[in-house]
Amino acid sequence: MRGFWLDFQRLVQQPGEGLLKIIVVNCLLFLLLMLVRIFMIISGKEFVYELLLEQLTLSANFPSNLSHPWSFITYFFVHVEIFHLAFNMMFLYWFGKILQEVVGNNKSVQTFFYGGIMGAIAFILTYNLIPYFERQNGSYLLGASGGVFAIVLAAATLRPNFEVHLVFIGPVRIKYIAGFYLIWSLLETVGTNAGGQIAHLGGALVGFCMGYLHEHPIRWDPLRKKDSPFIHADLTREKKPRKQAENIDEEELNQILDKISKSGYDSLSKSEKRRLFKASQKNE
């Protein structure tokens, strides 16, 4: 047990393993919730577990979330089914490794969180703006699927031809895996887990955008516009004095050279000799 605890401490303190830490938090919270549920059922107070779950998950009824706004984040760390947890964590690990190799640890973690938040926004907007879903306003959202789908789509966008080996199937490019689950989520938006599928699609949108923007970054610099009056003003202010200075130097130099040809070098004054010397140095 002590060895496990030391390994856990090393993992937490180790830099650059953000997604792995997210997996650990999800697994630990799942175990904690299961223990609380078992204890409350045995003690005849299962309602306490239900209240706790209500505080951590996201409701489709937006006003009810205002009493616990942290649920916009905590919901994607909560799982109540072992297979739901296992599926999400395996995909997060596999596709997260691919994404981390391309964009690094920080951007991978950001992609997960942005995907989870976008999944929450898509879930609430859909259930409050589309009449078909309004009658299911009592639904709630939990699970890391939104963030996981963001990771999957980002990895598939950046490395579409990367192959993974699936049992009984063999090597498959990740763009096909991502495409399959994307289509599946679209088809299941009218199924029993419509809210979860909508969160998947919200996360997928973020993942695609993050991947695309990594490959095609937007560099907006208004000062680089050719038609900018500020640029033209600066250039004209810089160029004119420079041209005038060059013309004056050339005229003076010609006068000095004419004087030398007529009266010799000794006829030059000290200031003229100094200017001639500087001009010769400049030409070198």
> What pLDDT digit, counting tens, does each position of 42-87 carry?
998 889 999 999 999 999 888 888 989 999 999 999 999 999 999 9
Q: How far apart are CA 46 and CA 191, in angstroms?
A: 28
**Residues 20 and 66 both lie in one domain:** yes
- The model's pTM: 0.71
**Residues 107 and 131 both lie in one domain:** yes
Higher per-residue confidence, 194 vs 183: 183
Segment 152-173 shows an average pLDDT of 89
Q: How far apart are CA 161 and CA 228, in angstroms?
A: 43
According to the model, what pLDDT value does residue 282 have? 60
Residue 171 in tokens: 């090597």
According to the model, what pLDDT value does residue 238 have? 46
Indicate whether 242 pLDDT > 70: no
Higher per-residue confidence, 270 vs 83: 83
The domain spanning residue 201 has which CATH number? 1.20.1540.10
According to the model, what pLDDT value does residue 16 have? 66
Most confidently modeled of 12-26, 148-162, 217-231, 247-261? Answer: 148-162
Indicate whether 108 pLDDT > 50: yes
According to the model, what pLDDT value does residue 88 have? 95
**Residues 99 and 35 both lie in one domain:** yes
At 182, is the pLDDT very low, low, confident or very high (cuts 50, 70, 90)? very high
Indicate whether 161 pLDDT > 80: yes
**Residues 202 and 241 both lie in one domain:** no
**Residues 192 and 276 both lie in one domain:** no
Q: How far apart are CA 101 and CA 70, in angstroms?
A: 31
Q: How many CA atoms lie within 13 A of 185 on its CB side?
A: 21
Question: What total number of domains does the chain contain?
Answer: 2
Last residue of a domain, one of 160, 185, 215: 215
**Residues 187 and 272 both lie in one domain:** no
Indicate whether 228 pLDDT > 60: no
Q: What stretch of H or E contains 277?
A: helix 270-283
Residue 269 in tokens: 């004054």
Residue 167 in tokens: 């049992």
What are the b/e assignments for 60-96, b being 16+ CB within 10 Å?
beeeebeeeeebbebbbbbbeeeebbebbbebbebbb
Last residue of a domain, one of 183, 215, 247: 215
**Residues 28 and 134 both lie in one domain:** yes
**Residues 272 and 187 both lie in one domain:** no
**Residues 207 and 229 both lie in one domain:** no
CB of 84 closer than 8 Å to CB of 78: no
**Residues 229 and 207 both lie in one domain:** no
**Residues 114 and 238 both lie in one domain:** no
Q: Which domain holds residue 238?
A: 224-283
According to the model, what pLDDT value does residue 245 have? 45
Last residue of a domain, one of 193, 215, 237: 215
Q: How far apart are CA 1 and CA 269, in angstroms?
A: 95
Q: What stretch of H or E contains 164?
A: strand 163-166
At 246, is the pLDDT very low, low, confident or very high (cuts 50, 70, 90)? very low
**Residues 108 and 230 both lie in one domain:** no
